[in-house]
Structure 1
Amino acid sequence: MERSPTTSGRSKRESPSLVEQTHRRKRRRIVTVESEIHVHENRYEISSSSSRRWGSSSHCNDERQRRRSKTEFVDSYRKWVFSPHDCSRYKDRVVIVSYNILGVENALKHPYLYHQVRPQFLNWDWRKKLIRKELNHYKPDILCFQEVDHFSDLADLLQKDGFKGVYKVRTGKANDGCAVFWKEELFTLLHQESIEFQKFSLSDNVAQLCVLKMVNSHSDSNRCANSQIPQSTPSRSILVVNIHVLYNPKRGDIKLGQVRLLLERAHAISQEWGNIPVVIAGDLNSMPQSPIYQFLASSSLDILLHDRRKISGQIEHERGSRPLTAQLEDAHSDQVPISKLLAYRWSEEELRLAAGCDGVTQLQHHLKLSSAYTGIPGSYHTRDNCGEPLATSYHSKFMGTVDYIWHSQGLLPVGVVETLPVNILRETRGLPSEKWGSDHLALVCELAFVDDSRVT
């Protein structure tokens, strides 16, 4: 019995041809590949004020990207994401990078951390070229590096891109240190000093504090246009702080003491230069939401509520033990007496190192700080529940976040560069890699001076 077109479900004229079917299958494959590659998409439109620096992807670029392999797409995950708020009225801005670039000697001394990394990718001549190429992509104004042990080499390389820098080497046997670079055409160095923590019995780490002034800021133009503003008022200045905190997870007393001392000095310098805004960048060797992180964010910390061995959140808890955060949650719900939490034993010497003087157990600082990344909403593929990156460092023994950029109230985050999704990081089997020149990922943010009518 012959079926009519209405009962057969589709007429012969409506049936797709073999060519059309093939085309559709190819299109489906393209869409599938795109969905695998683009694990995370920016959820916010790039504002017109931000596009002047980075622009947006064109249809032609998308077509070229579709033809690349998945491995070639690794760098496309590191994209700018921007504030959902209108920041166009804030004209004076600065792009800051914090980057632990992996000391050459450190890589040689700890080969077990990089046993899955090809030797070529650990070679400094290879890595420094990747680092420079990556930095040029971000178009930074200020660079904060940690684990620098080839400063002259790095300075010569960055000089080609218009940067000038200062360096502070660690005390003791280690040869690496911290370095701050700035674009000479954009900033002038007004003041610099460093902290040698060894002088305070706080290990051999160091920190840098640099006051930089914008050469040509919008506040300059406003001052010239308004004769009522004193001509002696200085232009936009910013205090840039760079630190590499002690690694040893068990010495929370020293780690906390380093952070406490740094915050004290940063606040003092900010006041000396007219309450200028502060940026604190570096490898803090502390996990998000750890007691050290909370101290930075909340400006206070009760030392006796925390185990010094877990104050940075780095140590994995022993099998069967409960995390300190869970204990604190129980304390708030009256399930565990506070007196039990106060049982952590701190010696008088440990308390003195952490607090800076005898008899003090409650720490406070006067800088009202915010983490740049938590100020810009991002993708769940790269951020934790609090907005911090899921991972800023990855080698055979560790994957997690220890690097940060903090800023004071005088600055507002306009945008940040997303870190790599964890699944993409795992595909590298460890950093450095063919694409990335360190075992850390660079943190990048654009910060705006929040009041363009007020000259600091």
Structure 2
Amino acid sequence: MWNNSNNREIIENKNNGHNQNTITKITTTSQPTHELTVSSLSYNKEQQFSSSSLATKSSSSRSTKTNENCSQCNKFDQFKSVDDERICLCELDDQMNLFKYSSYNFHQHSTKSMIFDNPGQIYNYINRCRRWIKVLEPDNVARRQNQFSLTTYNILAQNLLLNHLYLYRDSNKSDLEWLERSNRLKQELLELNSDIFCLQEVHLENFTTSILPTLQERGYQVVSKLKTGQNHDGCSILFKKNKFRLQDSLEIQMNRPDVSNLLDRDQVALVVKLRPIGRFRAENNTNLIVANTHLLFNPKRGDIKLAQLRLLLAEIQRFAIRNDSANTATKDPFKMNYFPIILCGDFNSEPKSALIEFIKKGQFNFRGLYSGDISGQREGFEKGRMLQKSDLVLNGIDFNTCFTNCTNESIETSNIFDESEDLTVRHVFDFKSVYPIMDQFNLQFISTSTHFDCGLVDHLFYSHNHKNLRLSAFKQLMNKQNLKKIGNIPNSILGSDHIALSAKFYLS
């Protein structure tokens, strides 16, 4: 995945002649927020922090303090050297200081001092990195009872791994065997213990044999959709039967040449309508819509991904409509009432890409973009062909991404797009990403990593303005520097080349 020897050489060259280490202190506000508040502070040997830049520390200044006890625990015998810093173990045990002193900034710190090489160290480090971040505190007992958790996870189908072994040439061969990976995946899922799992790249035969029986023993029900063609993998949604009852499900295949000539690939999506049951009953008999998908990978074919996404959103729009009096009074899809929605999966698109912006903003003008620009993947930049208005035409689906029989004809939405240079499309939902793009150190989160690249292509969205759904917390992802410390994935702890995204919600 990464050449550590090259990394060390680069760092040593950068640090030659001066050694200036930036220390980051993390503080949290009294109110829960999406992100921890971060302020860059400098540390001097008098145990004081200031807002100025860190002064260069000479070797003499370090040596004068070697006999001092720790100011926190008052112990002398548990100091260790980390990246030329004399750090007490009581500080290293703290989650925030672990980040502070663990070679977090690649350009300023050497990674050689804290690379973990045994499963126990890797496991503990992952858990320290992947702590739960609270967003909303429960304000009453009913809300606490109505909390549920959801995880989306691309578990890497074994047939796809074997067909692309060059992506995993840095991993141990034993870590790539299905017997080993299935045990690790099963352990990950059991430890997460989410009420709902949305899985991608599920090799149905392997999954049904190796993992599903254990999850069924734990009370999960499963719905799956296999890719079309000669594929062996697809998408699955699992949920706990003591919390939800399946009301309806929708299988979506994206090989739909009748809708668009761009829809000629075998990707699929799966949507379920779940009713809370038992103590978990929600008010007003609300249902929860959960949509799970895996879009095309090809970085050059963002036009296909956009068509796949719009087909999915149109299907969700029709599936999620509430059957109430307010909806019978209007045909305008923007004025209709919908059940709360969670949309997740592997979108094969970076977080700042046009495709993800379209999901979050509800509209986007794709004018001037090449098909390789749409998903934001580095390999596709300015490749492919310029997007044309004809690429946005889907038979039976309008530019509001609704089936035409759902649109009020008096609105005449088609007239909005008379100008040929306007390539704007919309959708009716108000989605927000559960995850921020950057962590508290302004480093991008990572959800997948192979020998050649890493990125944030898995996403978890929810109806954030819906009165019945509130985000409670999310399980922090890792960044590139964290991943360097645990080696290549899959490894002895993580069973996939992706990392699971998990969140907790309140449903009322």
Query: What TM bracket, shorter-length normalisation?
Result: 0.7 to 0.9
Q: Give the conservation status (yes or no) of the 8 Å contact 2:299–2:379.
A: no
Instruction: Identify which of 417, 440, 447 aligns with 1:380.
Output: 440
Q: Give the fraction of aligned pairs with identical amino acids, expressed as a percent.
A: 24
Q: Give the conservation status (yes or no) of the 8 Å contact 2:438–2:445.
A: no
Q: Give the conservation status (yes or no) of the 8 Å contact 1:75–1:435.
A: no
Q: Taking structure 1 as reference, are residues 86 and 429 closer, same or farther at Cα in structure 2, changes over 3 Å only?
A: closer
Alignment of 1:43-442 (within 5 A): 70-89=121-140, 90-91=143-144, 92-149=146-203, 150-153=206-209, 154-199=211-256, 200=259, 201=261, 202=263, 203-217=265-279, 219=281, 234=285, 236-272=286-322, 275-316=338-379, 345-347=386-388, 350-352=391-393, 361-374=423-436, 379-381=439-441, 384=443, 390-408=445-463, 409-410=465-466, 411-442=469-500
Give deviations 1:274-313, integer Å, cap 9, x for gaps.
6210001100000011000100110001121422211000
Residue identity matched to 1:418: Q
Instruction: Identify which of 438, 448, 456 aligns with 2:506.
Output: 448
Mapped to 1, the partners of 2:323 and 2:97 lie a distance apart of 41
Residue identity matched to 1:152: T
Q: Give the conservation status (yes or no) of the 8 Å contact 1:256–1:354.
A: no
Give deviations 1:240-269, integer Å, cap 9, x for gaps.
100001001111111011111111211221
1:136 Cα offset (Å): 2.2
Give deviations 1:1-37, integer Å, cap 9, x for gaps.
xxxxxxxxxxxxxxx999xxxx933233395456557
Mapped to 2, the partners of 1:118 and 1:440 lie a distance apart of 17
Residue identity matched to 2:193: K
Which structure dedicates a bigger proportion of its chain to strand? 2
Give deviations 1:377-404, integer Å, cap 9, x for gaps.
98425x65xxxx6100011011110011
Residue identity matched to 1:441: I
Mapped to 1, the partners of 2:135 and 2:217 lie a distance apart of 35
3-state DSSP of counterpart to 1:281: strand
The worse-fitting range, judged by mean Cα deviation, of 269-278 and 74-83 is 74-83
Alignment of 1:24-35 (within 5 A): 24-29=75-80, 31-33=87-89, 35=91
Q: Taking structure 1 as reference, are residues 34 and 402 closer, same or farther at Cα in structure 2, changes over 3 Å only?
A: farther
Mapped to 1, the partners of 2:472 and 2:218 lie a distance apart of 24
Mapped to 2, the partners of 1:78 and 1:160 lie a distance apart of 30
Residue identity matched to 2:450: H
Unaligned runs of 5+ in 2: 1-66, 82-86, 100-118, 325-337, 400-413, 418-422
1:434 Cα offset (Å): 0.6
Q: Taking structure 1 as reference, are residues 17 and 302 closer, same or farther at Cα in structure 2, changes over 3 Å only?
A: closer
Q: Taking structure 1 as reference, are residues 99 and 317 closer, same or farther at Cα in structure 2, changes over 3 Å only?
A: closer
Q: Give the conservation status (yes or no) of the 8 Å contact 2:434–2:461.
A: yes
Residue identity matched to 1:416: F
1:214 Cα offset (Å): 0.9
Residue identity matched to 2:308: Q
What TM-score, normalized to structure 2? 0.65
Mapped to 2, the partners of 1:70 and 1:33 lie a distance apart of 15
Q: Taking structure 1 as reference, are residues 81 and 307 closer, same or farther at Cα in structure 2, changes over 3 Å only?
A: same
Residue identity matched to 2:307: G
Give deviations 1:36-76, integer Å, cap 9, x for gaps.
57664799xxxxxxxxxxxxxxxxxxxxxxxx974452232
Which structure dedicates a bigger proportion of its chain to helix? 1
1:172 Cα offset (Å): 1.7
Residue identity matched to 2:179: D
Q: Give the conservation status (yes or no) of the 8 Å contact 1:100–1:147.
A: yes
Q: Give the conservation status (yes or no) of the 8 Å contact 2:276–2:287.
A: yes
Q: Give the conservation status (yes or no) of the 8 Å contact 1:101–1:439.
A: yes
Mapped to 2, the partners of 1:34 and 1:401 lie a distance apart of 33
In the alignment, what sits opposite 2:49? none
> What count of residue pairs does the alignment treat as equivalent?
365
Mapped to 2, the partners of 1:272 and 1:216 lie a distance apart of 22
Q: Taking structure 1 as reference, are residues 296 and 371 closer, same or farther at Cα in structure 2, changes over 3 Å only?
A: same
* RMSD across aligned positions (CA): 3.1
Q: Taking structure 1 as reference, are residues 447 and 176 closer, same or farther at Cα in structure 2, changes over 3 Å only?
A: same
Q: Give the conservation status (yes or no) of the 8 Å contact 1:290–1:312.
A: yes
The worse-fitting range, judged by mean Cα deviation, of 427-436 and 108-117 is 427-436
3-state DSSP of counterpart to 2:310: helix
Q: Give the conservation status (yes or no) of the 8 Å contact 2:368–2:386.
A: no
Q: Give the conservation status (yes or no) of the 8 Å contact 1:37–1:70.
A: no
What TM-score, normalized to structure 1? 0.72
Residue identity matched to 1:380: Q
Unaligned runs of 5+ in 1: 1-15, 44-67, 224-232, 325-343
Give deviations 1:107-140, integer Å, cap 9, x for gaps.
0000100001111111122112212222222221
Residue identity matched to 2:300: K
Q: Give the conservation status (yes or no) of the 8 Å contact 1:155–1:164.
A: no
